[in-house]
Structure 1
Amino acid sequence: MPRPVAILASLTAEELRDFLPEPLLGQARAVTPRFTVWDPTGQSAADFASALAAADPEVLLACWKTPPLPPVLPPRLRYVCYLCGSVRRLVRRDQLEAGLVVTNWGGSISRVVAEWALFHILACLRRAPHWTIAMHTEGAWKNGGTETASLFGRRIGLHGYGQIARELVQLLRPFHVTITSFAPDVTPEVEAAHGIRRAASLESLFAENDIIVELAPLNPSTAGLVQEKHLRLIRPGGVFVNVGRGAVVDEAALLRVAQEGRIMVGLDVYGVEPLPADSPFRGLRNVSLTPHIAGPTTDRRCDAGAFAVENLVAYAEDRPLRAVITPTVYDTST
Structure 2
Amino acid sequence: MKTTNKNLPVALIVLTPQEREEFLPEFLRLQLDRLLPNAIWVEAPISAGEWSGLLGTHQPEILVCAWETPSIPAEAAAHLKYVCYLCGSIRTLIPRNLIQNGLLITNWGAIISNTVAECTLLLMLAALRRASNWALAMHTQGAWKQGRHPDTLSLFHRRVGIHGLGAIGRDLVKLLAPFNVEISAYSPSVPDEMYEQLNVHRAATLEELFSQADVLVELAPGKPENLHLVGEELLNLLPEQAVFVNVGRGMVVDEEALVRVSRKKNLHIALDVYETEPLPKDSPLRGLPNTTLLPHLGGPTPDRRRDCGELAIKNIENYLNHDPLINLVTLEGYDRAT
Q: Same fold (TM over 0.5)?
A: yes
Amino acid at match of 1:308: A
1:309 alignment partner, SS class: helix
CA distance in 2, matches of 1:58, 1:44: 21
1:275 matched to 2:300? The reply is no
The Cα of 1:74 is off from its aligned counterpart by 4.6
CA distance in 2, matches of 1:152, 1:74: 53
Query: Does structure 2 retain, via aligned residues, the 8 Å contact 1:53–1:74?
Result: no
Q: Who is 1:212 aligned against?
A: 216
1:266 alignment partner, SS class: strand
Could you tell me which of 246, 251, 261 is aligned with 1:247? 251
Taking structure 1 as the reference length, the TM-score comes to 0.95
CA distance in 2, matches of 1:250, 1:278: 16
Could you tell me which of 118, 121, 124 is aligned with 1:118? 121
The Cα of 1:261 is off from its aligned counterpart by 5.9
Residues 223-244 of structure 1: CA deviation (Å, up to 9, x unaligned): 1111011111111121000111
CA distance in 1, matches of 2:163, 2:52: 40
1:8 matched to 2:12? The reply is yes
Identity %: 47
CA distance in 2, matches of 1:114, 1:290: 14
1:62 matched to 2:52? The reply is no
Could you tell me which of 167, 185, 190 is aligned with 2:189? 185
CA distance in 2, matches of 1:327, 1:274: 26
CA distance in 1, matches of 2:220, 2:319: 31
2:207 alignment partner, SS class: helix
CA distance in 1, matches of 2:126, 2:255: 21
Q: Who is 2:3 aligned against?
A: none
Q: Who is 1:139 aligned against?
A: 142
Unpaired runs of 5+ residues, structure 2, are 1-6
CA distance in 1, matches of 2:74, 2:263: 46
1:158 alignment partner, SS class: strand
2:110 alignment partner, SS class: coil
The Cα of 1:72 is off from its aligned counterpart by 2.0
Residues 187-212 of structure 1: CA deviation (Å, up to 9, x unaligned): 21111122112211111111111111
Taking structure 2 as the reference length, the TM-score comes to 0.94
2:123 alignment partner, SS class: helix
For the aligned residues, what is the CA RMSD?
1.6
Amino acid at match of 1:122: L
User: Which runs of structure 2 are paired with 1:281-300 in the superposition (5 Å)?
Assistant: 281-300=285-304
User: Which runs of structure 2 are paired with 1:124-163 in the superposition (5 Å)?
Assistant: 124-144=127-147, 145-163=149-167
Amino acid at match of 1:244: G
Query: Does structure 1 retain, via aligned residues, the 8 Å contact 2:251–2:275?
Result: yes
Relative contact order higher in (CA < 8 Å, ≥ 6 apart): 1
1:166 matched to 2:143? The reply is no
1:50 matched to 2:53? The reply is yes
Query: Does structure 1 retain, via aligned residues, the 8 Å contact 2:186–2:202?
Result: yes
1:199 matched to 2:208? The reply is no
The Cα of 1:273 is off from its aligned counterpart by 1.4
Unpaired runs of 5+ residues, structure 1, are none
- Equivalences, count: 332
* Pair 44,259 (structure 1): closer, same or farther in 2 beyond 3 Å: farther
Query: Does structure 1 retain, via aligned residues, the 8 Å contact 2:77–2:103?
Result: no
Structure 1 segments of 4+ aligned residues over 6 angstroms from their partners: none
Query: Does structure 2 retain, via aligned residues, the 8 Å contact 1:135–1:141?
Result: yes
Query: Does structure 2 retain, via aligned residues, the 8 Å contact 1:161–1:183?
Result: yes
Could you tell me which of 229, 243, 261 is aligned with 1:225? 229
The Cα of 1:122 is off from its aligned counterpart by 0.1
2:165 alignment partner, SS class: coil
**Which structure: greater helix fraction?**
2
CA distance in 1, matches of 2:32, 2:110: 20
Q: Who is 1:90 aligned against?
A: 93
